[in-house]
Amino acid sequence: MQEKLNKLKDQAIRELSLVKNIKQLDDVAQKYFGRKGGDLNNILKGLKDLDPEARKEIGSLANEIKEELEAAVEAIRQTLNAKEVESKLESDWLDVTLPVDTNLGHLHPISIVQYELEDLFKGLGFKILDGPELESDYYNFEALNIPKHHPARDMQDTFYVDNSKNTDKWVMRAHTSNVQVRAMKEFGPPLRAVVPGRVFRCESTDASHDTTFDQLEGFMIDEDISIANLIAVMKVMLSAIFKRDVKVRLRPGYFPFVEPGFELDMQCLICGGKGCSVCKQVGWLEIMGCGMIHPNVLKAGGIDPEKYSGFAFGLGLTRFVMMRYGIEDIRHLNSGDLRFLKQF
């Protein structure tokens, strides 16, 4: 028995000396000390069948050998771990002297102007709100005093999406005005807010029309709000954004959700009013619809039109950007063309 134990020890030491990595070490340890079928463990288990004298002798030798081997395994484990860290350090290195890639991304021109406008309106006490791009027929049209089958829907022909659960269709919002009644319901009066965002129309595309573009809606509701407040806010905004004197004109305009309603045009900054493809040769560009919020819209938002009034405007953010940077074709903006984008 003693001889058998000593042989086992020698054999274990020989095997341990050949171990090259932690996995092999674990395998050898398992072979000798494994709970199930480990050679040394089996001998220790068999001790109970020996007579007391032999059990004592063999038992202490077996334990001695076990401790000795376990200590060897631990020592080898530490050496292997240290070696592994070392070789990792050798293979995972980084050359900190390589030149840095300075080709960083940057904001899209629409975002640049949008954030500028947001800052400006924040300074005037307006909230910045967001709204869904896939909208119910109700908030996009009906709540804005545009009933079903009303011819005014043609002005904003958009994309309808079948809604199998409901007879009411979804639409890709045709304007950011969809947030007007949502905001009135959520915050109540008095309310000042702007809503930048993407809108969709069924358009044939050309230099100044695209199926996807950006608007910035704004509204201010309180007691005694009048057209004078609307004009004052528009003037502050335009001079801040274009940083120069911009000629504007106000024409009567029809939108079912404002009364009276206007179109605000600015002189084309691309051609200076002479006429070009962007302004369709007229020298003026329609940049926003605006007006006093219709009483029916205030009512839909749960606001008493006898007590409160408000103005609203929907600014063509995309047009603004084109004027600001002298971009002659709207289709560049969503093209993803790096030759275009890198200029900003």
Binding residues for Mg(2+): 259
CB 155: neighbour CB atoms within 10 A?
Answer: 15
Which tokens go with 288?
Answer: 């926003």
Does residue 139 bind ligand PHE (CB under 6 A)? Answer: no
**What letter does residue 332 receive in the DSSP assignment?**
G
d(CA 127, CA 324) in angstroms, rounded, equals 24
Q: Which stretch binds ligand PHE (CB under 6 A): 26-34, 181-189, 204-212, 287-295?
A: 287-295
Among 131, 197, 256, 291, the residue binding ligand PHE under the rule CB under 6 A is: 291
Q: How far is the CB of 145 from ligand PHE (least distance, A)?
A: 11
x-or-dash string of contact with ligand PHE, 231-260, rule CB under 6 A: ------------------------x--x--
In the complex with ligand PHE, which residue's Cβ is closer, 12 or 146?
146
313-342 residues in contact with ligand PHE (CB under 6 A) are: 313-314
Q: How far apart are CA 81 and CA 165, in angstroms?
A: 62
Q: What are the structure tokens assigned to 152, written together?
A: 């005014």
From 53-61, 100-108, 165-173, 284-292, give the range in contact with ligand PHE by CB under 6 A. Answer: 284-292
Distance CA 309, CA 33 (A): 87
189 binds ligand PHE (CB under 6 A): no
Letter string b/e over residues 193-209, b meaning 16 or more CB atoms within 10 A of that residue's CB: bbbbbbbbbeeeeebbe
* Closest CB 95 distance from ligand PHE, rounded Å: 55
Cis check: omega of the bond before 189, within 30 degrees of 0: no
∠ CA 288-125-128, rounded to 5°: 60
Strand order in the sheet with 212-222: 127-128, 191-200, 212-222, 309-316, 284-293, 258-267, 248-252
Minimal distance in Å, beta carbon 266 to ligand PHE?
Answer: 15
Q: How far is the CB of 199 from ligand PHE (least distance, A)?
A: 7
Nearer to ligand PHE, 73 or 300 (CB): 300
Candidate residues 9, 175, 192, 332; the one interacting with ligand PHE per rule CB under 6 A: 175
| 309 belongs to the binding site for ligand PHE (CB under 6 A) | no
Annotation: binding site: 259
136, 158, 177, 208: which one contacts ligand PHE (CB under 6 A)? Answer: 177
> Could you tell me the maximum CA-CA distance found in the chain, to the nearest angstrom?
118
Single residue of 189, 256, 289, 310 touching ligand PHE by CB under 6 A: 289
CA dihedral 255, 257, 259, 264 (to 10 degrees): -50
Instruction: Let me know: does 275 contact 283? Beta carbons within 8 Å.
Output: yes
Minimum gap (Å) between residue 112 Cβ and ligand PHE = 22
Choice between 41 and 212, CB closer to ligand PHE = 212
Query: Is residue 312 at the binding interface for ligand PHE, with CB under 6 A as the rule?
Result: yes
- Footprint on this chain of ligand PHE (rule: CB under 6 A): 175, 177, 217, 255, 258, 261, 289-291, 312-314
